[in-house]
Amino acid sequence: MPQVKIGVLISGSGTNLQSLIDNIENGKINGRITVVISNRKDAYGLNRARQKNIAAVYIRQKDYDSFEKFNDAIIDELKSHGVELVVLAGYLKILTPRFIEEFRNRIINIHPSLIPAFCGKGFYGIKVHEEAINYGVKLSGATVHFVDEKADTGPIIIQEAVEVSYEDTAEALQQKVLKIEHKILPLAVKYYCGGKIQISGRKVKIKE
């Protein structure tokens, strides 16, 4: 099978991006990252891309008349690099309906909770873990899912749990969950690039 061309969207340090790069380099993913795009000029993830000679592009929302045109610019950039799979790896912007339609069932996101808990609008970063700690849950974790028109509502590909101890702070839980993220995001991308994912309504089957 030919390598799947991957575009990664980031807003921050890019540790999940790094996990993808590492898994591609060691041959576990039959894919190639052709472009990394960020809405933040100082996102360290852009440096991670440049260090590997991957196209690193900063697209600033303020340069466009509307949020729709900003998203259209990202779509155009992805298409110019032949992207077949879009991975949101800590990208903190909502995608427009046109974006979703252009890459239907070809956009994967990682979320730091066991969806449908602690997800949706406003749930990102440390806030997710603060809410989990305050609620007193005994389990949290991470979810990789396809992206649809609403926040964190697309079909779930993989979930993995971690135990939440009485002593855990939001920061401690965040570090626990991050380890899970670095494991299951590359795994989901591996399944996609290997043609192993089958979607039926809300259900996702990983084919043997």
Whether 56 contacts 49, CB under 8 Å: yes
Please indicate, yes or no, whether residues 75 and 53 belong to a single structural domain of this protein: yes
Please indicate, yes or no, whether residues 32 and 93 belong to a single structural domain of this protein: yes
Is residue 72, in this structure, part of any structural domain at all?
yes
Out of 88, 103, 118, a domain closes at: 103
Alpha carbon of 50 to those of 6, 35, 40: distances in Å?
15, 10, 15
Q: What amino acid positions are annotated as catalytic residues?
A: 111
Residues of the chain predicted below pLDDT 70: none
Please indicate, yes or no, whether residues 91 and 188 belong to a single structural domain of this protein: no
Domain at 31, CATH number: 3.40.50.170
Task: Give me the pLDDT at residue 33, please.
Answer: 98
Is residue 150, in this structure, part of any structural domain at all?
no
Domain range for 162 is 110-145+155-208
Domain count, the chain: 2
Please indicate, yes or no, whether residues 87 and 115 belong to a single structural domain of this protein: no
Task: Give me the pLDDT at residue 145, please.
Answer: 98
Please indicate, yes or no, whether residues 79 and 128 belong to a single structural domain of this protein: no
Task: Give me the pLDDT at residue 208, please.
Answer: 84
Please indicate, yes or no, whether residues 51 and 136 belong to a single structural domain of this protein: no
Please indicate, yes or no, whether residues 95 and 133 belong to a single structural domain of this protein: no
Please indicate, yes or no, whether residues 98 and 1 belong to a single structural domain of this protein: yes
Q: What gap in Å lies between CA 119 and CA 201, rounded to an integer? A: 20
Task: Give me the pLDDT at residue 1, please.
Answer: 82
> What are the residue ranges of helices labelled H in 3-154?
15-25, 44-51, 67-80, 97-102, 126-135
Task: Give me the pLDDT at residue 70, please.
Answer: 98
Please indicate, yes or no, whether residues 184 and 117 belong to a single structural domain of this protein: yes
Is residue 33, in this structure, part of any structural domain at all?
yes
